[in-house]
Structures are given as structure tokens and as C-alpha cells.
Amino acid sequence: MAIKSTIFKAEIQITDLDRHYYQDHSLTLARHPSENAERMMLRLLAFALHASETMVFTKGLSAENEPELWQKSLSNEIEIWIDLGQPDEKRIRKACGRAREVFIYTYNYRSALTWWEQVRNKLSRFDNLSVLVIPDEALQTMATLSQRSMQLRYMIQDGEILLSNGEESVTITPEKLLAA
């Protein structure tokens, strides 16, 4: 019998001074059995950085042809495609062809830099692709904030994120490997 996903509830408050976006969201996340707390919290961070009324979590690890998150227009065109980790070049090319903007949030700093060195020359031609790496220490601290029911605040200013649960906080400064 297959292990089922674990359901997490997150009440998040976003104060994004860079985009002038100020909103609260009630989110339900299904954490796949193969997904760890760091990766799930990275999905939440990606949502907060691109939040809108139409940004949604997809089937993620359970669907090959979908990103972790996306935002679609009313005419069902993909406006924003967000992937996590180290997707292969073919997947990224396909995403860049289908979406107006593509964001990849990678982690595990050393392996992320190795992956980037392997794919950089093939991907730097895409003007709608941004690749960011999240520092290991920040990701590990984010994971400690993970609970089945969470209340989180994201304050975003000058590309830096302050994440807090009211008791603990972490400052996250993504490193841009490629900016669209």
C-alpha cells in the first residue's frame, strides 16, 4: 500500500515592498512522502515571492508536465512557471517555450553550483529564465519552522526575505545565478 501525502495548512501574511503586494493567503499543501521539510518550505517561499490571486500549487512531484507552481492567465496561458531543484535542460527549454517567465529555485549549494556549471551555457540564451539558489543555512532554518499548521509572515524588501513565525525568524537572501 502506497504511503499517502501529509497535509499541511499555512496561513501566510506577505508584505512585499519590492512588488507592492500586501496580502494574506490560506494555503493547503500536500507533502509527498519523498519530499522533505526543506523542499516543502522552499515551495512556500516561492509562492510568497510570486504570490498573486492566480498563483497555484500544482501536482508537483506527482506530475511530470507541470511545475511546482504556476500562474495562468484567464485564457489559460502560462504566465509564470516555477520549478525547484535541478531540472534537466530539456524540461527547462520546454518551460521557457510554454511560459512568459520561468523561475528555478535550486538548493544544496555545492551541487546546485555544479549543476549550474553543466547547464549554464545551454540555458543562458533564454531571456525569460531566472535561476536562484537558496543558501543551505537559510533552508535548514526554514525547515525548523515547518509544522502541520503554520502561521508565517514574509517580509520582502530589496530581494531579501525575512520569514517569521512569531517566535523564530530567518533572513533569506537568494543568490541569482541568472536573471531574466
Average pLDDT over the chain, rounded to whole? 93
Burial of 169: CB neighbours in 10 Å, binned 0-12, 13-18, 19+: middle
What is the per-residue pLDDT across 150-167, written as a single tens digit (0 to 9) for each? 999 999 999 999 999 999
Overall residue count recorded for the chain in this entry = 180
Q: Are 146 and 35 in contact (CB under 8 A)?
A: no
- Measure the CA–CA gap between 180 and 165, rounded to whole angstroms: 31
CA of residue 99 relative to chain centroid, distance: 16
What is the per-residue pLDDT across 91-102, written as a single tens digit (0 to 9) for each? 999 999 999 999
Residue 74 has, within 13 A of its CA and on its CB side, a CA count of: 0
What is the per-residue pLDDT across 127-154, written as a single tens digit (0 to 9) for each? 999 999 999 999 999 999 999 999 999 9
Q: How are beta strands 55-57 and 69-72 bridged, if at all?
A: antiparallel
- Measure the CA–CA gap between 122 and 128, rounded to whole angstroms: 14
DSSP one-letter code for 4: P
Phi then psi dihedrals of residue 42, to 5 deg: -70, -35
Q: What's the rounded mean pLDDT across residues 15-24?
A: 97
CATH top class, domain 6-178: alpha beta
Helices first, then strands: H and E counts in the chain: 4, 11
In the chain, where the domains are located: 6-178
- Residue 166 φ/ψ region, left for φ over 0, alpha for ψ in the -120 to 50 degree band, beta for the rest: left
pLDDT at 60 over 70: no
